[in-house]
Amino acid sequence: MVSKLLRFGRRQLHTIVSRDIIKPSSPTPSHLKTYNLSLFDQLAVNAYAPFVAFYPSTRIYQSSHDKTVELKNSLSHTLSRYYPYAGRLAKAGPTYVDCNDDGVEFIEASNDGPLSDFLHRSAHEDLDQLFPDDLIWYKSNHKAHTDENERTSPLSVQVNHFSCGGVAVAVSLSHKIADASSILNFLKDWATVTRSRGEHRDLSHINPHFLSYKTRNIKLPKNMPDRPQGDYVTRSFVFPNSKINDLKAKITNMTMESGEPIMNPTRAEALTWLIHKCAVAAACKTKSGIFKPTGVGQVMSIRNNLVEQLPETSIGNLYLLMEFPTRDESDLTPHNIIGELRKRKKEFRSIKNTETALGIVSEMCSDHTAMLETTKRLDDYYIYTVINRFPTYGIDFGWGKPIKVTVGGVVKNLIIMMNTPNGDGIETLLSLDGQDMKIIQNDPELLAFC
């Protein structure tokens, strides 16, 4: 398999070198062979979430082959703790994972150019080739599959070597089994195991917290729609902390006249308001000035936001979606958007525990008509995911910290916020309609804070 990046000064080749199956270093105990998916998991999008971390060249290994062998060995040990990731689940509508230790596919690829060229000259879409077998968001689901009983692996890995000795470690993990926090915890733990080196690795600090769920007799609507794809492109915008502080001050001053000023908005709150306002304005311009009602959906982790908090290492789709409409221009004020976010955060933080949260969601799912209507309505919303609390740039395989960590693929109206490498700002990935992106990339209000 060869991919060609024609925008480079010369043709750059990205070639698959080898494929292997990595199984856990020790068998999964019989009492853990079935891992029931929660209702949160079953409602998650049927897609693969792709994360990739880039590392510069080091002299720790004599060759890329030695580095690959080390990564395979450490992955095997890590999978003994993350045993569901090495199992199999139904491709459509899974309710459990068969933890059968069938293993994960490990692909090795080679790029004949230096890592610096790839990072500096490639567009976001060029990341796609770094991930295994098109397991990028919804792309894997576009292929024709006639067997309803077909099963798939939750996890696949691709390690990409560059001519300079740099490497990109990419993972694609089924969103049916994990959220962003789960994926990043797995990468961190795999890196920790790799750093320990040797056959007798220390796994004492690798303790993913898998929650036990009873089987819920909930019949979800058939053919739940996924977020459709189209001419959507992803671009990165970096907001320095100094500029974000200016934005926060602007928001407080703007809301002062209302008598209820928004004090101390978080970085995520401030950027959500700014980006949403600019994204809606861009969409309005491409539609001949016609305002199209839309909305805000922000993913909120419930690990530390319930009365009975969960360990940060808890694995699964442990989030709720805070959502509200923006029907007209008057709804785009910081007072409305940030105020609505805070109102919903307060409501979620009053939920006692996961069982209570699951009960609320279960009751919502019982009304199929309302659920399908909600899904259709949310299709026009902008979805914001904030992962800036996770130490993304602490994922160290023993080669030092990554120089870049990002998310691959393109998803409709998705906005992802994460820390910059030095923690001096927030990098935001925006996936928007191609025409909307052309406008927002030149929006003076947005660029004033970049």
Residues 24 and 143 placed together within one structural domain of the fold = yes
Three-state secondary structure string covering 332-356: HCHHHHHHHHHHHHHHHCCCCCHHH
Is the CB of residue 80 less than 8 Å from the CB of residue 201?
A: no
- Using one digit for the tens of pLDDT, what is the confidence trace for 402-417? 999 999 977 889 999 9
Owning domain of residue 389: 232-447
Residue 325 lies in a domain: yes
Residue 435 lies in a domain: yes
Residue 310 lies in a domain: yes
Residues 162 and 256 placed together within one structural domain of the fold = no
With bands split at pLDDT 50, 70 and 90, how would you rate the model's confidence at 229?
Answer: low
Residues 406 and 320 placed together within one structural domain of the fold = yes
Whether the full predicted model's pTM is greater than 0.95, yes or no, is no
Residue 220 lies in a domain: no
Residues 12 and 129 placed together within one structural domain of the fold = yes
Residues 106 and 186 placed together within one structural domain of the fold = yes
The tally of domains found in the chain comes to 2
Is the CB of residue 413 less than 8 Å from the CB of residue 260?
A: no
What is the rounded (10 degree) CA torsion for 368, 373, 379, 381?
A: -120
Residue 59 lies in a domain: yes
Q: Which CATH number belongs to the domain containing residue 369 in this structure?
A: 3.30.559.10
List the structure tokens of 175: 């969103």
With bands split at pLDDT 50, 70 and 90, how would you rate the model's confidence at 56?
Answer: very high
How confident is the model at residue 161, as a pLDDT? 95
Domain termination site, one of 147, 179, 210: 210
Residues 311 and 421 placed together within one structural domain of the fold = yes
Residue corresponding to tokens 């062998």:
69
- Using one digit for the tens of pLDDT, what is the confidence trace for 236-286? 999 999 999 999 999 999 998 877 889 999 999 999 999 999 999 999 999
Domain termination site, one of 148, 178, 210: 210
How confident is the model at residue 200, as a pLDDT? 65
Nearest CA to 394 among 384, 406, 402? 402
Residues 40 and 170 placed together within one structural domain of the fold = yes
Residue of 175, 189, 276, 331 marked active site: 175
Residues 45 and 111 placed together within one structural domain of the fold = yes
Check if 380 is active-site. Answer: no
How confident is the model at residue 446, as a pLDDT? 97
How confident is the model at residue 272, as a pLDDT? 98
Name which of 79-88, 111-120, 319-328, 369-378 the model is least confident about: 369-378
Q: Is 197 left (phi over 0), alpha (psi -120 to 50) or beta?
A: left
Check if 134 is active-site. Answer: no
- 67-74: average pLDDT: 92
Residue 218 lies in a domain: no
pLDDT at 114 over 90: yes
Residues 37 and 145 placed together within one structural domain of the fold = yes
* Residue 28: Cβ within 10 Å count: 18
Distances (CA, A) of 103 to 63, 154, 269, 363, 386: 25, 10, 40, 36, 31
Q: How far apart are CA 146 and CA 151, in angstroms?
A: 12
Residue 217 lies in a domain: no
Mean pLDDT (the chain) is 88
Q: Which residue has the higher pLDDT, 332 or 7?
A: 332
Q: Is 223 exposed, middle or buried (0-12, 13-18, 19+ CB in 10 A)?
A: exposed
With bands split at pLDDT 50, 70 and 90, how would you rate the model's confidence at 199?
Answer: low
Residues 149 and 296 placed together within one structural domain of the fold = no
Residue 398 lies in a domain: yes
Extract the runs of DSSP E, i.e. beta strands, from 147-198. 151-152, 155-162, 167-174
Residue of 102, 133, 379, 396 marked active site: 396
With bands split at pLDDT 50, 70 and 90, how would you rate the model's confidence at 223?
Answer: low
